[in-house]
């Protein structure tokens, strides 16, 4: 049987953990496949779709193509349609289908960390990652709030309107990130603050971190951000984003070949991916 071919596309693609993670997942699934990365500039997406992407068995999509890829696909899943975003494409029988696996990765990562979505839930930021998390929380019927910088108040307001339009009973609000008061049961960082190489930075001040019962940081490089370290030092339950990255990849593989993965295997892969990241 011919070796299957997969890839991740983005621009700039830079260093990505996707080839390492997916290669391991293919090995676990017993599938003979190769996985590469392709740097595709936005203006070249259409040409590369015809020339390269349509000939692959499947591929992942990262910034800036998650929306623009949709116009070239034959169909997309209901959840991808709701989000207006695709991060995984399967090519089967000449039909290209787009999916979004980021939401599943988020929920599975919280479960793996033992963090329950309950009580006062706060999302830092209002970008693409925050939007994904917000929709999943809203779909569960839970109340939550965005905490944003003053310059992002307008975007946060529009995102709240978008969510309530698609999910009419959504309970969502927003406020300023530097004016967080009171206790927070689940704090989710969906900003890039604290990401390598600016690893000493943190999105909120220490006293606010001290009032958080659970903390999840979507950043996976470094493995433990300053936010996660401080939360743990305070005795809070806290986890970084490597689990989310690996789980969304595992769900993408399920879309490609229908095989599921054991939680123990995924947890082991998270540990191996962490070591791989450190070695880089």
State the catalytic residues: 66
The angle subtended at Cα 133 by Cα 146 and Cα 221, nearest 5°, is 95
Question: What is the rounded CA–CA span in Å between residue 71 and residue 172?
Answer: 30
Question: What is the rounded CA–CA span in Å between residue 142 and residue 140?
Answer: 6
N-term to C-term CA, the chain: 34
* Paired tokens of 4: 């299957």
CA 131 remoteness from chain centre: 10
Task: State the sign of the Cα–Cα–Cα–Cα dihedral 68, 157, 103, 199.
Answer: positive
- Per the CB < 8 A criterion, the answer to whether 215 and 236 are in contact is yes
């Amino acid at each position: 049987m011919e070796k299957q071919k997969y890839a991740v596309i983005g621009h700039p693609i830079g260093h990505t953990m996707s080839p390492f993670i997916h290669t391991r997942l293919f090995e676990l699934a017993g599938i003979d496949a190769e996985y590469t990365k392709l740097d595709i500039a936005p203006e070249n997406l259409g040409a590369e779709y015809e020339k390269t992407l349509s000939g692959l068995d499947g591929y992942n999509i990262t910034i800036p193509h998650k929306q623009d890829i949709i116009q070239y696909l034959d169909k997309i899943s209901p959840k991808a349609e709701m989000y207006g975003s695709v991060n995984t494409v399967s090519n089967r029988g000449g039909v290209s289908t787009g999916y979004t696996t980021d939401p599943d990765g988020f929920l599975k990562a919280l479960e793996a960390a033992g963090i329950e979505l309950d009580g006062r839930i706060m999302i830092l930021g209002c970008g693409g990652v925050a939007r994904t998390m917000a929709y999943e929380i809203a779909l569960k019927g839970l109340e939550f709030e965005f905490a944003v910088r003053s310059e992002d108040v307008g975007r946060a307001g529009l995102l709240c309107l978008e969510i309530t339009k698609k999910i009419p009973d959504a309970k969502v609000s927003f406020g300023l990130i530097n004016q967080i008061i009171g206790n927070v049961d689940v704090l989710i960082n969906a900003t890039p603050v604290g990401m390598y190489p600016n690893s000493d930075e943190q999105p909120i001040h220490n006293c606010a971190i001290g009032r958080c019962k659970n903390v999840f940081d979507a950043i996976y490089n470094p493995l433990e951000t300053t936010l996660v370290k401080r939360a743990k030092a305070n005795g809070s339950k806290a986890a970084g984003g490597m689990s989310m990255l690996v789980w969304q990849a595992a769900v993408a593989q399920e879309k490609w070949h229908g095989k599921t993965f054991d939680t123990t295997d995924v947890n082991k892969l998270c540990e191996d991916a962490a070591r791989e990241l450190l070695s880089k």
